[in-house]
Amino acid sequence: MSPIDAADEGYLERAVVLAWEARERGDHPFGALLVTADGMVLEARNSVLTEADPTGHAETNLVRLAGRLDLATLTGSSLYTSTEPCAMCAGAIYWSGIGRVVFALSGEALAAMVPDESGIPPLRLTSGEVFARGGRPVTLDGPADLASATDVHRDFWT
pLDDT, tens digit (0-9, with 9 covering 90-100), for 54-112: 999 999 999 999 999 999 999 999 999 999 999 999 999 999 999 999 999 999 999 88
Q: What is the CA radius of gyration of the chain?
A: 14
pTM of the model: 0.95
Closest CA relative to residue 1, chosen from 144, 105, 134, 123: 144
d(CA 64, CA 47): 13
The residues carrying an active-site annotation are: 59
* Residue 157 neighbours by CB under 8 Å, 6+ apart: 113, 114, 115
Taking each helix axis from N to C terminus, what angle separates 58-66 and 6-24, rounded to the nearest 10 degrees?
Answer: 110
| pLDDT the model gives residue 50 | 97
